[in-house]
Amino acid sequence: DIDHLNLRVQKELVEWLNWLKADIGFDGWRFDFAKGYSADVAKIYIDRSEPSFAVAEIWTSLAYGGDGKPNLNQDQHRQELANWVDKVGGKGPATTFDFTTKGILNVAVEGELWRLRGTDGKAPGMIGWWPAKAVTFVDNHDTGSTQDMWPFPSDRVMQGYAYILTHPGTPCIFYDHFFDWGLKEEIDRLVSVRTRHGIHNESKLQIIEADADLYLAEIDGKVIVKLGPRYDVGNLIPGGFKVAAHGNDYAVW
């Protein structure tokens, strides 16, 4: 164990971080198991090393109902993420992985896409509150891969990417999906749509429809994304939009 309250430990870790920046060329930090030490300590490391980007892994359980599925209201869960960023410094480079969005998406793509519209009409995860500070993801080395602790439904992974790569927040692509699963081309097409239309971490999201078999949303008035098996949605797509990417139960205009 590392005693992060020990001033010598803090000093040596800060020196190491600055060495990684100056000599090796790293410019961002990932804070693993950030629940294991206070946000005040993380603030010291960030303030004294000045990375261009920092992201924290704050993985806590969602609130579940008697049916074993997540409650519709996950405000307490995403509040914990927002609190960490607040304490570290909301105006700085600190962000958190959006585990709230991950957990809701896991279930939503299994025929419960209504979950993707919160009670306030916005996205139900961290991106619905503070998208500039939310790093969205479908799976990572803990949840998927060999550890397989909270995996996304494997046959619906591209629905997850269609969501995070068109929505606000900072999307993170999982190495395994990109290089090992044969999804590189599909993911590349979605990345191209995001880049071409300038979708960014604070883009404006308008949810058009959120039913069991259909989620439809418009981003910045430039991109429309559809998730779910419902096929006939032409009456909901404004004129002038053309399909730019599509796959199993998703499409992007």
Q: Is residue 6 part of a domain?
A: no
Q: Is residue 91 part of a domain?
A: yes
Q: Is residue 169 part of a domain?
A: yes
Q: Is residue 84 part of a domain?
A: yes
Domains: count for the chain: 1
Q: Output the tens digit of pLDDT for each of the chain's 253 residues.
A: 789 999 999 999 999 999 999 999 999 999 999 999 999 999 999 999 999 999 999 999 999 999 999 999 999 999 999 999 999 999 999 999 999 999 999 999 999 999 999 999 999 999 999 999 999 999 999 999 888 899 999 999 999 999 999 999 999 999 999 999 999 999 999 999 999 999 999 999 999 999 999 999 999 999 999 999 999 998 999 889 999 999 999 999 9
Q: What does the pLDDT read at residue 178?
A: 98
Q: Is residue 220 part of a domain?
A: no
57 is catalytic: yes
Q: Is 0.75 surpassed by the pTM of this model?
A: yes
Q: Is residue 31 part of a domain?
A: no
Q: What does the pLDDT read at residue 200?
A: 98
Which is catalytic among the residues 1, 32, 67, 185?
32
Count CB atoms within 10 A of the CB of residue 243: 11
Which is catalytic among the residues 57, 202, 213, 220?
57
Say which CATH number the domain at 100 has: 3.20.20.80
Task: Determine the structural domain holding residue 133 and report its residue range.
Answer: 58-203
Q: Is residue 50 part of a domain?
A: no
Q: What does the pLDDT read at residue 1?
A: 78
Q: Is residue 127 part of a domain?
A: yes
